[in-house]
Amino acid sequence: MARITAGSSRSTPRPCTSSPCSTRTPTGVWAPTGRGPAYGDSVVKLLFPAGLTVADSFTPFNQADLDRFDADLGSGAVMLLPDQVAARPHLMVAAGKEGKVYLMDRDNMGGYQRCGPTCDDVVQSLPGGTVRGGSYGTPAYFNGQVYYQGAGDVMKAFQVVNGLLSTAPVSQSNVAFGFTGSTPSISANGASSAIVWALQVNAFGTGGPAILHAYDATNLAIELYASNQTGLRDQLDGAVKFTTPTVANGQVYLGTQTSVAVFGLFPVASAPPGAPTNLAATAVSSAQIGLSWTNSPDVATGVKIFRSPDGTHFTQINTVDRNTTSYTDSGLAPLTTYFYLVRATSQAGDSPDSSLASATTLVAPPELEVSDVAVAEVTLAWTRTADDHYTVLQSTDGANFSPVGTVDATVTSVAVTPLAPGTYFYRVQAFSSQGSSALSNTVRATVGPVSVDHSADFASVQDLNANGSVRFVENLVRLTDGGGSEAGTVFATDRAGVRGFRSRFTFRVHEGTTPRADGFTLIIQSNSPTALGPGGGGLGYGPDRPGPTRGIRNSVAIKFDFFDNAGEGTNSTGLFTDGRSPTVPEPGSGDVLVKLDGTGIDLTNQNPKQVDLAYDGTTLTETITDLFTNVSFSTAYRVDIRTMVGSDTAFVGFGGGSGGLTAIQDILSWTYTEQEDNLPPRAPSDLRVVFLQPQDATTSSATLVWKSNNSYTATGYSIERSPDGTHFSPVGSVDASTTSFTDTGLTRGTYSYRVQALGSSANSAVSNVDSVFVGDSTSATVIDHSAGFAGATDLAANGSASFVMNAARLTNGGTGQAGSAFIRDRVGIATFTNTFTFQIRPGSTPMADGLTFTIQAVSPTALGPAGGGLGYGPARPGPARGIRSSIAVKFDVFDNAGEGTNSTGLFTDGRSPTVPGSTSTDVLVNLDGSGIDLKSTDPFRVDMTYDGGTVSVTITDTVTQASVSQAYTIDLVSVVGGNVAYVGFTGGTGGLTAVQDIVNWTFRSP
């Protein structure tokens, strides 16, 4: 497989394949130990044939801490060194999870001194973290150097001189390995031409491939080979922990989960191979095309695969094994034609090209969601994927679907009506003009009262959506399954009323590590049934440490926490809000921590427990009962859940997390019942002005839409308008099945609106307020901050954003920041011109992460995630969303997911502004080589226009005058959901930071 071998080979002593490992001589055995009461976390010398009695030992001074924190010395093996010319000639090395390297005298190992960090009686100790992440294998030795590959470190070589190790590595590699590190092997031609071989097994837990690395033993910075450098040609099967390369007779042998792989030299080729024949291409899905061909009988080392968008300009996309005759090309755009050719290759060169083959990808499945439930009506919305039409399918049982309507390819939202009270299931089928079709996901909507009833078990889970690590197994919900670094959530797919409710659930935490970690939360949130927060101490809800970063926003969570991450203790409950860290309350947040020590409730044990929650609109009462001991504990929280989540309805469910320590966390049963008798109708929410339409030269009409929130007791809606945002008067009303209104006769000025549901005995609370600026045909709408942002009262600053030094500062150099600044009133976006200047400065070195110009229909206070999310979307691609109904043009200076450190691009609907998703129409533009370097700290001017079909962008470095342009084809009105929206900027930082300023800005809309 590989191209590297050696004339002859010598390998290191037999490697460690489990932990702990021992080293044997004709008279004894030296072995490290794990945790235990006798000789725990020690290295012992056992004599034989005298019954393997302990003849000598060494125990670190901090053995008690090693035991308490599961940092045992026995995770790594000892290695005996060749005899040294020194006062102590018989040496050996040992290292464990602490990453400290001990050099010991085999004749006098040092015992257990217990007197502090400087009195371990060994020849030498290199400090903790020398082997970062700890040692889980055996080091290697060659020509006076000891080689360690830690579980979270690069490979390091330490020189042995005069009986001591060098205190710093004499060389190190550039590739960091994850858990479990590696046991290196060495091949050499006598004392020269040495190669260090190491197997990277980071992907063992997911079945991903192992990676074989080869380094120059005299300088580990020189990587000679890696099996992932040749595409699929040398790709190994699934990784296995503690596997060690074995070198013999010029070949390297490796074990994987399914095979034994042998690396060595290919046969010598005297001429290039013949061309492959019979190339064929077939569409597999909306993002994949399958290829097949016939190889020439000539000797080849691999087959190169090339792709083209036009049949003329080809780019190599991979190389596969010489015996491979098929390949699946992935990550393609839907409904797009691609052309392919293949070439065989060898040491003598490439073959001629094969014949061309082409195929067109299929239509992508739409992403369907329930956008609202009203009286006798369900509103559906989906992503646009078809170029012909869509068919909407309905079911009452989730299994048998029937068409209820067909719409053309430009329509992505419908209202299904009339509907009787009950539960309905929907799908949308997308059709392409080429004849392919694809079904969306299935969604569920309940017209009328909503309840969750899994009082018996979770045998049927049609009403639930699982995210992250969550699995439905054994008729229960498993939030985490004992794996490390997990985060999972599960939510009911119907929005439930939150003004008053009762809920009961039972849970059990068991197995995993000792101690177990971390815990779980009951979550009420208004975002999406796919919402997912961080793992570890974040419990699937918020960050694992207090700070400015947020997890699931617009939310309330009750936690059940059995590991101390930030001072909360190992047995606590409490109430946390708006995605803050569910560890300890942040000052001024109103969050509450309740420690359970001494209450009779111990969350660290494995007993099943029951939780009862009751909410009356003001007080949330919590009772925890241990079902084994029958001990109960109650507490209460004063909380306005409606205000916290921003709606009278929300998604209810659970989140769980684990980190380096783990647990199996199971929800065994769950019920949730709305308690809304005698309450007014639910308030409408998400009020938006979506369209302005000129009526004549001086007047216009404004169209409003809102969500009913399944307000099944409403009798109608009253619409109110204000000229100043304070004094409102009714301007119209509609019946309970209508969730839109058009206000006419508006002259130039700013108008604010709100809506109220009408009831038979009382009216609801009012909705949010939404504002729009109405122009006329005599003059344009202009946002003018060409001179800076002094007195910027027309803008709302959110998160980390502020107006300082005449600039709109999105992030100020702090970590974990997300900031946004949007115009307070909607403006027209059907066509526009837009010019602004921005500057990104350190912060840290390197700087991170970047900023966006965003147009969105949500709110002037809209704010997305921090870090690589740039205050707009998630930091990683996936199903989660940030600011919905939006577009963002990004300016990105840090590589979070493969986007590079100098990129722009257009992203939509709150998706991660890193790299485009496989089913999205988002665009990434790498600016390397363009003359524009966003990391330069120069001010950049951006000139942007939209003509109704194309967003044209020019970026100019105001110092060098270099410029580059991009054009993005997009139906902005369709994506945003109207011809008026909020315009502004977002920015984010993570662990690395930047000061990100908008220096000036002018936006003009006819």
When pLDDT is cut at 50, 70 and 90, the band that residue 11 belongs to is very low
Read off the pLDDT of residues 107-141 as tens digits, 9 standing for 90 and up. Answer: 999 888 877 777 788 999 999 889 988 899 899 99
CATH of segment(s) 451-674: 2.60.120.200
3-state secondary structure of 216: strand
CA distances from 885 to 38, 825, 950 (A): 64, 16, 18
At residue 339, what is the residue type?
F
Higher pLDDT, 557 or 43: 557
Q: Are the C-beta atoms of residues 384 and 412 closer than 8 Å to each other?
A: yes
- Residues 767, 769, 774, CA angle at the centre, nearest 5°? 140
CA distance 122 to 103: 6
H/E stretch holding 64: helix 63-68
Query: For 831-846, what is the mean pLDDT?
Result: 96
Given a cut of 70, whether residue 21 has pLDDT beyond it is no
List of residues 6+ apart from 228 with CB closer than 8 A: 209, 211, 234, 235
Label the pairing between strands 111-112 and 53-59: parallel
Residue 139 in tokens: 């080091």
* Cβ neighbourhood burial of 898 (10 Å; 0-12, 13-18, 19+): exposed
CA distance 72 to 66: 5
Query: For 291-297, what is the mean pLDDT?
Result: 95
Read off the pLDDT of residues 620-641 as tens digits, 9 standing for 90 and up. Answer: 999 999 999 999 999 999 999 9
Closest C-alpha to 938, from 890, 869, 891, 888: 891
pLDDT of residue 481: 95
Given a cut of 70, whether residue 479 has pLDDT beyond it is yes
Q: Which listed CATH number (1.10.645.10, 2.115.10.20, 2.60.40.10, 3.40.1410.10) goes with 685-774?
A: 2.60.40.10
Read off the pLDDT of residues 520-557 as tens digits, 9 standing for 90 and up. Answer: 999 999 999 999 999 999 999 999 999 878 899 999 99
pLDDT of residue 293: 98
Closest C-alpha to 834, from 910, 941, 939, 906: 941
3-state secondary structure of 131: coil
CA distance 275 to 298: 9
Closest C-alpha to 74, from 137, 150, 165, 146: 137
CA distance 606 to 629: 12
Q: Are the C-beta atoms of residues 270 and 348 closer than 8 Å to each other?
A: yes
Q: Are the C-beta atoms of residues 524 and 641 closer than 8 Å to each other?
A: yes
Read off the pLDDT of residues 727-756 as tens digits, 9 standing for 90 and up. Answer: 999 999 999 999 999 999 999 999 999 999
The DSSP string of 807-825 is EEEEEES-SS-EEEEEESS
The domain defined by 373-447 folds into: Immunoglobulin-like (2.60.40)
The 3 state secondary structure assigned to 636-658 is EEECCHHHHHCCCEEEEEEEEEC
Which one-letter DSSP state was computed for residue 295? -
The 3 state secondary structure assigned to 5-51 is CCCCCCCCCCCCCCCCCCEEECCEEEEECCCCCCCCCCEEEEECCCC
pLDDT-above-90 percentage for the chain:
77
Higher pLDDT, 434 or 116: 434
Q: Are the C-beta atoms of residues 889 and 904 closer than 8 Å to each other?
A: yes
Q: Are the C-beta atoms of residues 685 and 723 closer than 8 Å to each other?
A: no
pLDDT of residue 1: 37
CA distance 504 to 611: 6
When pLDDT is cut at 50, 70 and 90, the band that residue 27 belongs to is low
What is the helix, strand, coil percentage profile of the chain, to 5? 5, 45, 50
Residue 439 in tokens: 């079904």
When pLDDT is cut at 50, 70 and 90, the band that residue 14 belongs to is very low
pLDDT of residue 272: 93
Given a cut of 80, whether residue 50 has pLDDT beyond it is no
Report, at the CATH architecture level, how domain 136-265 is classified.
Beta Barrel (2.40)
Read off the pLDDT of residues 142-155 as tens digits, 9 standing for 90 and up. Answer: 999 999 999 889 99
Which parts of 516-583 fold into alpha helices (H)?
none
pLDDT of residue 76: 82
Buried b (16+ CB within 10 A) or exposed e, 599-632: bebbbebeebbbbebbbebeebebebbbeeeeee
Q: Are the C-beta atoms of residues 30 and 16 closer than 8 Å to each other?
A: no
CA distance 407 to 415: 12
Residue 479 in tokens: 């939030």
When pLDDT is cut at 50, 70 and 90, the band that residue 703 belongs to is very high
Query: For 942-969, what is the mean pLDDT?
Result: 98
- Residue-range domain boundaries for the chain: 20-129, 136-265, 277-360, 373-447, 451-674, 685-774, 781-1005
Q: Are the C-beta atoms of residues 604 and 626 closer than 8 Å to each other?
A: no
Long-range own/partner contacts, residues 903-909 (CB < 8 A, 24 or more apart): 903/927, 903/934, 904/934, 904/953, 904/955, 904/966, 905/966, 906/951, 906/968, 906/970, 907/852, 907/872, 907/873, 908/970, 908/975, 909/383, 909/881, 909/884, 909/885, 909/975
Higher pLDDT, 196 or 781: 196
pTM of the full predicted structure? 0.73
79-88, 575-584, 700-709, 722-731 — which is least confidently predicted? Answer: 79-88
Whether the link from the prior residue into 543 is cis, omega within 30° of 0, is no
Sheet with strand 53-59: strands edge to edge: 23-25, 28-32, 43-47, 53-59, 111-112
CA distance 529 to 519: 20
Residue 100's φ and ψ, nearest 5 degrees, are: -85, 135
When pLDDT is cut at 50, 70 and 90, the band that residue 22 belongs to is low
When pLDDT is cut at 50, 70 and 90, the band that residue 17 belongs to is very low
Read off the pLDDT of residues 875-901 as tens digits, 9 standing for 90 and up. Answer: 989 888 899 999 999 999 999 999 999
List of residues 6+ apart from 439 with CB closer than 8 A: 365, 427, 428, 429, 430
CA distance 729 to 731: 6
Mean of pLDDT over the chain: 92
Segments of 115-264 assigned E as strands: 124-126, 140-142, 145-149, 155-161, 164-165, 171-172, 185-189, 192-200, 211-216, 219-226, 246-248, 251-255, 260-263
At residue 458, what is the residue type?
F
Query: For 863-875, what is the mean pLDDT?
Result: 93
pLDDT-above-70 percentage for the chain:
96
Top-tier CATH class for 277-360: mainly beta
CATH of segment(s) 781-1005: 2.60.120.200
Q: Are the C-beta atoms of residues 218 and 144 closer than 8 Å to each other?
A: no
Label the pairing between strands 963-969 and 832-841: unpaired
The 3 state secondary structure assigned to 170-183 is CEECCCCCCCCCEC
Fold agreement (136-265, 277-360): no
Closest C-alpha to 713, from 754, 685, 680, 686: 680
483-487, 503-507, 774-778 — which is least confidently predicted? Answer: 774-778
pLDDT of residue 32: 79
Residue 520 in tokens: 């779980």
